[in-house]
Every structure is written in structure tokens, then in C-alpha cells.
Amino acid sequence: MDYSPRSIEKKWKKYWDENAVYKVYNDTSKPKYYVLDMFPYPSGAGLHVGHPLGYIASDIFARFKRMKGFNVLHPMGYDAFGLPAEQYAVTMGVHPAVSTNQNIKMFRSQMDNLGFSFDWSRQVNTSDPNYYKWTQWIFLKLYEHYYDNDADKAMPISDLIVKFEGNGTAGVNAATSEDVSFTAEAWQKMSPRERADILMNYRLVYRKESMVNWCEALGTVLANDEVKDGVSERGGHPVVQKPIIQWSMRTTAYAERLLSGLNNVDWPDALRAQQTNWIGRSEGGHMVFDIDGHGDKIKVFTTRPDTVFGATFMVLAPEHELVAKITTNDQKQAIDDYLEYVNSRSELDRISEVKNVTGAFTGAYAVNPMTEENIPIWISEYVLAGYGTGAIMAVPDGDLRDKKFAEHFGLNIIPVVDQTMYPDAGPEDKVGKMINSGFLNGMEVKDAIEATLEEIERKGIGERKINYKLRDANYSRQRYWGEPVPIKYDADGVDSRLPDNELPLELPEMEDFEPGNSTEAPLARNKEWIHSYEGYRLEADTMPGFAGSSWYFMRYMDPNNDEAFASKEAMDYWESVDLYIGGAEHAVGHLMYSRTWHKFLFDIGLVPTDEPFKKLVNQGMIQGVIEHMYLKKEKTDGFSHFICARHAAELNILDKIAKIPVYVDFVNAYGTPDSYMDISSIKRFIEWRPEYKNAIFECSGGVYQKGEYKSHGTANDLHMFTDSEVGKMSKRYFNVVNPDDIVNNYGADCFRMYEMFLGPLEQAKPWDTKGIEGVSKFLRKLWSLFYADGELAVSDEAPTKEEFKVLHTAIKKISTDIERLAFNTCVSAFMVCVNDLKKLNSHKREILDPLTRMLSPFAPHLAEELWQVLGQEASVTTADFPVADESYLKEDSITYPICINGKKRATADFAVDTSKEDMEKASLELEAIQKWIDGKTIRKVIIVPKRMVNIVVG
Ligand code: ANZ
């Protein structure tokens, strides 16, 4: 029988399906292991060969753990709400629910094709009302809690109300949007609307007017991580700043715990560093400056309080509330002009372009609390409204931006830190001795910072403060395709929640779901739905894409529960994710949001751990080969003129060339530097791009045009070299490889092993279809250990020591490498093992049985078939993973070269445990040695264990 992946794979998929082989029970008698993939959003493009890389890796690991005796949870689902799914629907002119379902079917069939061991009975779909009921429920829990800084956890808003009733804000230390303080009496006197507004300042999801990234083309507000270089990440549309009222999530309340939690997870250093920078903790102090002739004061945040004697001016963010108040009549025009300029700039422009120094003087002066000198107050775009207090004391000697500003506008510069002892240090290094700084003079910077903080606290003009760059996450989308927010407003605008028994608040069917060109969300147009509660108006914004993905991994534990998002028993058993594999692009999005939600759910006792993902691995991207043809920008005799890439480079005319990406399969032997198109590929190219049917193709070896060629030799000599590079796999470059095509040709097992063989999981690597042949040959060779010349060849003879050694060497290598997720070296170890067995002509059952079990995580279909060939009845997935027997790996004897004065004169085999004395004696007795030492004096015999015996004679 020959190896036929197609029929084998079909047979075993059916078997797995019919026998529910991958169904997972919450069987607490076994130790658990949870392997999670980042679930895909079901886009219309389907999977390409890059997507399954992580899925194959996690599947191998899940299967391995199962065979090691663990009860393994390995689920899959769909992140189906959100912008991408909706945009696809809009482009295709179908309803998102319809396109999402179609896409889910396609994804499912593509994944099924690859032989994954997912328990599909646990599938989640974030756009399914039975799922988003719980997303809404968790949202309401966030809404009903605030962050108590003293308890360092989330607490019920109802407790806060009790505090307000008793003592007002006295004794309340909570995470808020704004500092507020009031008495119990004031609270009692407030209207319901006023109270609602106060509570919003505390809720963990809250409404607030905020400047948002407004994208006209997408008709929505974008999160910061959806904006790249001032345009939307999807589609590259312009983004401007606009104030609207919307929901936010108080992620900042968790900043410190998000940071410290990174010490307790096994994540890649690069990822932890990204989150650390994103959180951006900085230690310093608040300091208050009087304004000359005004009652108001300016509060600044500084990381360098020690430099206060060098603070020669102040800068407010243009949006700072005091700007209008303190600007003098003389300066009003200058300030107004400047504000107009700033409005045209995005936050990103403002922080990235430091080259141009811009600003305007308010005409007002502050008083430096240490020098008691008057210092001018300016406004400038480099001070951001959303960070610290939106105001700074400017120290030209300590901060480069302040220095540039002072130089540009001719402001005073006082040196305050002498760094001559630290020739390599810059201002940011926080080293040096204080000068011109009163009581700080002579102190080292670090001590001076501490001394200043003590002094300002003593004087009552400031206090220590830790700031974070992290911002609260935007939680509103003015879009249709998302979870409705279960909040209603009465006629006075007082918000309240929907009761639990009204959940899910279902997204209504709407024909016209596209975003309009205002900030109003599409749901607001559905008057019937918006007013479905008598006397109330429902919230029209929907939740952001990250809502559903912030907790989906908990739902897999108990996916069909209607009483809770998952039962306590299920969560106590599965606990949290042991291994999470996914793309590095989610570092500060999904992975921040889900950690925040998880910490919140932990605070209120709903999940058993503080961190959701113990170990995390980012798989590298699979890249594509990009092929370009060279087209001359100028036509020749009115014809488009393609030129051989090599030739163009030689002629040095690259500036006169346009690069046209072409389908990689038009190109022969692609891969740098020898990719070329022959006449048949040029013909296929013309069929694909008929606008070039008359073009001139100037190849190496001749010219081709309109079906005719002029060549020095035959048509076969015409080679049109292309330009190959490794880059993104993308439709744009016509280099997308669909896994289904590979599976059709080679089988899923071959595809799986080949993807792993490409290189280390974490590394980016180019897809190269050529290499797959090697893996396919390997599988056929493996098959030939079972079937020789089409006949069953398995024998019950006892294996030799050598055969056992080959097998156990592979078991040892593969089992350690799987644990390290080094699947590429596992595949090589399989290849070495099969080659060696082939050389030994081994067909023994005692060897093939463990080999088949070991193969099962990698090539599951083939392993099932071979397992059956070996006469087994149950699925190989229920068998144990083989264990290496070290006794087979020990060398019995070693062949030593026996040298005289360093020259090899003979060899001898010694058992590994032979003593040095015995080796020396035996060596000297060898006949071949005797003749060399005859009559000479033996000065020394050197024995290097496992290496050599050297006899020194003279
Ligand atoms: C005086 C000073 C002297 C400063 C000195 C630095 C060096 P990080 O580490 O980023 O937190 N700053 C404060 N708020 C700002 C805002 N809204 N926009 C722009 N800059 C702001 O840096 C904090 C420092 O950045 C603060 O310390 C402040 O300048 C500035 F030798 O105060 B410093």
C-alpha cells in the first residue's frame, strides 16, 4: 500500500468527528493544562499559511500534554464583533451578521482541514447573544464598581455612596477622572443628575467628554493603537481630534498592578518591555506655583524637583483651563493665533515634531517658590493636556525641550547641575552636583531630589507623585456591529443600568447599519429600539472590539452556562491559561485590556487568579517572497517596455524603472537571486494583465513581443529576471499561499510538519514551497518502515541495541524539544531517526510503536493510520507519549586512537568503564604499538578520557 495522505486524512477526520475524540470534560481527577490560541476575527480573506503557524504549534503542544496524562483544554472561537468584520460587510454590501457567519464557515473548514484537536463543542463567538450577554454583564459590574486606592482593589459603588452620605469625600481615596471634594450635606442637596455625574467620576467604566481620534471616513472614533502616523491603521484615512461624550474604561486605576504583575508571568522580555513602556511609570512630585497678582495657582508634575532653582519660566498646555484666565490683553491676540495653530495638530504631531519650537507668552508671571523670582508663563504644544497636570516648570539646564524653547525665545537659563565629573552623562541621567540652588548646593542629584521633596512637603507646596503614561481606554464605538451598552438615560440624562434579567440587550436587526457622517451612532437612528424602555433612551454607542476578547478564555471553561459566565467549579479547575500563543501585534491592545478585566474580576471574587495568561509566546510572521518585474517608465515606440531586472541593474537605469508586483507562481525557481520568467510565464502574465498584451519584454537572451521572439538561440533561452525580496505575505504582492492548496497537494500532516520545520517558532521566516518536498519525502520514507514495496513489513522480531539507540535518542531529543517549543528541531530529529532506521532496515514493532506515538502530535492523521496498521484499536491520541530509556543511550565502548608522540599509530576499543591503568597497559601491549616503542624509553602515557591515548617516547 502506498502512502496516500488524502484518503488517510479524510478517514481519520471522520473518525475523530464521529467519536468526539477531542471532546474535553471538566474531569477534575486529572491534572489540567490549558493551551490557548488567539482566536481569529473571521475576515473574508480566510486563512493564509501565516495564520496556522501558531495554531499548529499549540496543537502539537496540546496533543503532547494529553499524551503525558493531562486533561487539556484547547479551544477555538471567533472574535466576530468589531471594525474589521463590519468593514468587510460594508465593502461586500451584505449585513455583517451574514458575512460573519459565512466567514466563520470558511475559517472552520480551513481549520478542520489542518487536523486541529480543538473541542468545537466549546466554541465561542463574541457576536452571539448568549456570549455577549456576559460581556454586557461584566460591563455592568465595571459600571457598579470604583477603584479604592487604599484597599488597592475594586469596590462597589454602593459602598462609596454610603461614604458620601456619611462624610462626603472625606477619607475617600479613589481613582477618578478629576479631583472633587464635597461634604455629606452637599451630597444630600444634590439633584439626581448631579449625583449621577459625581458617580461617573468614580465608575470603572464611565462617560466623559474627551478628545478623541475622529476618523471621518470610517465614521468612528479610533483607539490610539488603531491610529498609525496620524492616519487610521485600517484603510489609512485621515484622523482629527474631536471632543465628544463617550464611555471609557478606567485602565489607569490598575496601572501599578499591571506593571508589577509582569514580574509574575512567563512572557517574552520584549513583550514585557513593551507593556512597561506603555504603562510608563514615572516618579516625581507635584509642586504648586503662585501666579503673580492672581488667586489661582499652577500645579506642575516634575520628575526633577531638585532643579526648581533653575526653573526660569513655566509652560502650560494650550488647553489648560488657566490660559484664558491669566492671558493679558496685550497678549490675547498672540495666544488666540497660537491656539488656532494648535487645533490643527494631532497629539502625535505635537509630540513627534520637536524640531520646530513654537509657543506664545500669556503676559502673566508665576513666582518660583524657591528663588521667589517672577518667571513668565508661556503656552506651547509640547506640553500635553492629558499628562501630569498639563503644566510644567521649565528648566532649560535640565531638559532639552525647555532648553531649545529658552534659546528660541530668549528666556533665562540658569545652570543648576554640574556634570563635569560625569563627562558621558546627559541631563536625563540624573547625576551631577547641584549649583546655584540655595540649600541644595553641593548635593548629588539623587539626594537633592529627596531633599526637595521633603522641603516642598514641609512648606505645604507639593507632594510626592507617581505618574503613568497609560491612558484610560476608549470604550465607545459609534458603530453598529458591536455589543450594545446596557445603559439607559432618563429625561434628565441620569444614567442607570438595565437589570440582569433584561440581558442580553440584543443588537437590533437593521438594514441601514452603515455609519453616518456625524458622531451619532447608527443605533440612534433606530428610534423604536432606542426608546424601547418607557421614558428612557438607550445608549446608542456600542462596545469596542476589545470587549468580547477581554474575557473569552474564561468562557471556554464552561461555554454553555446561562447562570454565570462560567461556574466557580469550572474556573477553580481550569484556573487560567497555561500557555497562550499569538501575534506580537496585540502587546498593548488585547493583552493590556484582558489583563485589566481579569484583575477586576479577581478583585470582586469572580475569577481565581490575578493574571490570565501564565506563559505567553509570540509566533514569528511567515513572510512571503515578493516578485517584481521591471517596467520602463517611458514607453518605447509607443509600447510598454519590460526589462530584465539584472540587465536594468547593470545599465544603471533603476531610476527610470517602475516595479510591478507579479504572482509568485509566474516565476521559476523563485528566491534570490535566480528568479526568472520564461516565455510561458510571460504568456500567463499577459493573460492576467491584458493591458500588456503588446508590450515589449526585453529578456536576457532576446526580446519577446506579441507572441514572437527574437533570440540568439531558442525560445528556451529567453529569461526575464525578476526582482525577489522577502516581505509581507499580502494580497497586494500576489504572494499569498492558501493552506488549502498545500494540503490538497501534500496533505495536512506534511503541511503541519513543514510549517514547524521552517524555523524557530518565535522567528520571522519566509515561506518557501520548495522545501516542502523534503518533508513529503520524509513522510514517505517513514511510511516505508511499515510498508516495504507495498507490502506490510512490520515484524515482531526483537530490535537490536543499535535500533533501540536510534529510537531512544529521538525520544529524548523530541520530548525535551517539545517542552521548549522547539518544534523545528523536533522535525529534524524525526528525520534523522527515520533515516537511521532506514539504514538499519528496521521494521520492528517495538521500534515503530513508540515512533508512531511520538509522531502523533505532529502528524496526527498519519499516526492514527500507522497505529491501526500496528493492530491498535483505540485512537493513538489516548496512548502515552514514549519515555526515553537512558540505558540505550549510554555508549558501551569507545574507540580510542593510540598515538605515539601525538601521531596516530593504532586504534583500540575500550569499554567505557575501563580504568586508566588498564587502558595504558592494553595500549602498550598492542602489537602495532610494540614495534614503534621498541628500544625507546616510555616517558609518559597521557589518557584523555573518551578522546585519545598518547604515548610519549624519547
Ligand atoms: C522639570 C524638569 C527638569 C523636568 C528637568 C525634567 C527635567 P516623564 O519621565 O515623561 O514622566 N512634563 C510634565 N508634564 C508634562 C506634560 N504634560 N507635557 C510635556 N512634558 C511634561 O517626564 C516628566 C517630565 O516631563 C517632567 O519633569 C516635566 O519636566 C515634563 F531637569 O519638570 B520636568
Q: What tens digit of pLDDT does each residue of 676-689 get?
A: 999 999 999 999 99
932 or 63, greater pLDDT: 63
Report the nearest-CA residue for atom 31 of ligand 1. 398
Q: Which residues of 99-124 are buried (b: 16+ CB within 10 A; e: fewer)?
A: bbbebbebbbebbebbbbbbbbebbb
Report the nearest-CA residue for atom 2 of ligand 1. 304
Kindly give the distance from the C-alpha atom of residue 585 to the centroid of ligand 1, in angstroms, as a whole number.
29
Residue 132 pLDDT: 98
Percentage with pLDDT > 90 across the chain: 76
Q: How confident is the model at residue 715 (pLDDT cuts 50, 70, 90)?
A: confident
- How confident is the prediction for the chain on average, in pLDDT? 92
Residue 354 pLDDT: 62
For ligand 1, whether the C-beta of 303 sits within 6 Å is: yes
Residue 665 pLDDT: 83
Residue 281 pLDDT: 96
Kindly give the distance from the C-alpha atom of residue 354 to the centroid of ligand 1, in angstroms, as a whole number.
15
Report d(CA 723, CA 674) in Å as an integer: 9
Report d(CA 438, CA 601) in Å as an integer: 51
Residue 353 pLDDT: 59
Q: How confident is the model at residue 670 (pLDDT cuts 50, 70, 90)?
A: low
Report the nearest-CA residue for atom 1 of ligand 1. 302
Kindly give the distance from the C-alpha atom of residue 207 to the centroid of ligand 1, in angstroms, as a whole number.
29
Kindly give the distance from the C-alpha atom of residue 303 to the centroid of ligand 1, in angstroms, as a whole number.
6
Q: Which residues, in sequence order, are CB contacts of 528 under 8 Å at separation 6+?
A: 508
Number of residues that make up the chain:
954
C-beta separation of 428 from 304 below 8 A: no
Kindly give the distance from the C-alpha atom of residue 233 to the centroid of ligand 1, in angstroms, as a whole number.
29
Residue 342 pLDDT: 87
For ligand 1, whether the C-beta of 395 sits within 6 Å is: yes
Dihedral of CA 424/427/433/436: which sign? Answer: positive
Q: How confident is the model at residue 225 (pLDDT cuts 50, 70, 90)?
A: low
Report the nearest-CA residue for atom 8 of ligand 1. 282
Kindly give the distance from the C-alpha atom of residue 380 to the centroid of ligand 1, in angstroms, as a whole number.
13
Kindly give the distance from the C-alpha atom of residue 304 to the centroid of ligand 1, in angstroms, as a whole number.
8
Percentage with pLDDT > 70 across the chain: 98
Q: How confident is the model at residue 605 (pLDDT cuts 50, 70, 90)?
A: very high
Report the nearest-CA residue for atom 27 of ligand 1. 302
For ligand 1, whether the C-beta of 396 sits within 6 Å is: no
Atom of ligand 1 nearest to the CA of 317: 17
For ligand 1, whether the C-beta of 393 sits within 6 Å is: yes
Residue 912 pLDDT: 84
Report the nearest-CA residue for atom 12 of ligand 1. 392
Report the nearest-CA residue for atom 32 of ligand 1. 302
Global pTM reads 0.86
Q: Which residues, in sequence order, are CB contacts of 873 under 8 Å at separation 6+?
A: none
Kindly give the distance from the C-alpha atom of residue 284 to the centroid of ligand 1, in angstroms, as a whole number.
9
For ligand 1, whether the C-beta of 445 sits within 6 Å is: no
Q: Does residue 672 carry a pLDDT above 60?
A: no
Q: Does residue 344 carry a pLDDT above 80?
A: no
| Residue 237 Rama label (left phi>0; alpha psi -120 to 50; beta) | beta
**Mapped to the 3 state alphabet, what secondary structure does 764-818 carry?**
CEECCHHHHHHHHHHHHHHHHHHEECCEECCECCCCCHHHHHHHHHHHHHHHHHH
Report d(CA 233, CA 222) in Å as an integer: 9
The set of cell numbers assigned to 583 is: 501575534
Q: What tens digit of pLDDT does each residue of 23-60 get?
A: 999 999 999 999 999 999 888 777 777 788 999 999 99
The set of cell numbers assigned to 254 is: 490598575
| Ligand 1 binding pocket mutation candidate from 277, 282, 298, 304 (most atoms within 8 A of CB) | 304
Kindly give the distance from the C-alpha atom of residue 243 to the centroid of ligand 1, in angstroms, as a whole number.
26
Q: Does residue 643 carry a pLDDT above 90?
A: yes
Kindly give the distance from the C-alpha atom of residue 711 to the centroid of ligand 1, in angstroms, as a whole number.
70
For ligand 1, whether the C-beta of 232 sits within 6 Å is: no
Kindly give the distance from the C-alpha atom of residue 211 to the centroid of ligand 1, in angstroms, as a whole number.
22
Atom of ligand 1 nearest to the CA of 383: 18
Q: What tens digit of pLDDT does each residue of 353-373 get?
A: 567 899 999 999 999 999 999
Give Cα 493 to chain centroid, integer Å: 40
Q: Which residues of 274-305 are buried (b: 16+ CB within 10 A; e: fewer)?
A: bbeebbebeebbbbbbbbeeeeeebebbbbbb
Q: What tens digit of pLDDT does each residue of 420-453 get?
A: 999 999 888 999 999 999 999 999 999 999 999 9
C-beta separation of 256 from 281 below 8 A: yes
Instruction: Please name every residue paired with 315 in a beta bridge, in sequence order, or none if there are none.
Output: 378, 392
| Ligand 1 binding pocket mutation candidate from 287, 302, 378 (most atoms within 8 A of CB) | 302
Report the nearest-CA residue for atom 5 of ligand 1. 398
Q: Strand 32-37 to strand 537-538: parallel, antiparallel, or no bridges (unpaired)?
A: unpaired
Q: How confident is the model at residue 223 (pLDDT cuts 50, 70, 90)?
A: low
Mean pLDDT of 496-514: 93
Angstrom distances, CA of residue 628 to CA of 85, 631, 680, 688, 716: 31, 9, 17, 15, 21
Q: What tens digit of pLDDT does each residue of 754-776 get?
A: 999 999 999 988 887 778 999 99
Report d(CA 581, CA 596) in Å as an integer: 19
For ligand 1, whether the C-beta of 301 sits within 6 Å is: yes
C-beta separation of 642 from 629 below 8 A: yes
Kindly give the distance from the C-alpha atom of residue 314 to the centroid of ligand 1, in angstroms, as a whole number.
11
C-beta separation of 850 from 835 below 8 A: no
Residue 675 pLDDT: 87
Q: What tens digit of pLDDT does each residue of 863-910 get?
A: 999 999 999 999 999 999 999 999 998 877 888 999 999 999 999 989
Q: How confident is the model at residue 393 (pLDDT cuts 50, 70, 90)?
A: very high
Q: How many other C-beta atoms lie within 10 A of the C-beta of residue 388?
A: 21
Report d(CA 400, CA 287) in Å as an integer: 21
For ligand 1, whether the C-beta of 702 sits within 6 Å is: no
Q: What tens digit of pLDDT does each residue of 734-751 get?
A: 888 888 888 999 999 999
| Ligand 1 binding pocket mutation candidate from 299, 301, 414 (most atoms within 8 A of CB) | 301
Kindly give the distance from the C-alpha atom of residue 610 to the centroid of ligand 1, in angstroms, as a whole number.
33
Q: How confident is the model at residue 838 (pLDDT cuts 50, 70, 90)?
A: very high
Residue 49 pLDDT: 75
| Ligand 1 binding pocket mutation candidate from 387, 428, 430 (most atoms within 8 A of CB) | 387
Report the nearest-CA residue for atom 29 of ligand 1. 302
Report d(CA 865, CA 157) in Å as an integer: 60
C-beta separation of 161 from 190 below 8 A: no
Q: Does residue 351 carry a pLDDT above 70?
A: no
For ligand 1, whether the C-beta of 388 sits within 6 Å is: yes
Residue 87 pLDDT: 76
Kindly give the distance from the C-alpha atom of residue 938 to the centroid of ligand 1, in angstroms, as a whole number.
79
Q: Which residues, in sequence order, are CB contacts of 296 under 8 Å at separation 6+?
A: 322, 325, 326
| Ligand 1 binding pocket mutation candidate from 399, 413, 469 (most atoms within 8 A of CB) | 399
Dihedral of CA 183/186/192/193: which sign? Answer: negative
Mean pLDDT of 293-308: 96
For ligand 1, whether the C-beta of 739 sits within 6 Å is: no
Report d(CA 121, CA 102) in Å as an integer: 19
Report d(CA 113, CA 417) in Å as an integer: 67
For ligand 1, whether the C-beta of 399 sits within 6 Å is: yes
The set of cell numbers assigned to 102 is: 459565512
For ligand 1, whether the C-beta of 398 sits within 6 Å is: yes
For ligand 1, whether the C-beta of 309 sits within 6 Å is: no
Atom of ligand 1 nearest to the CA of 385: 17
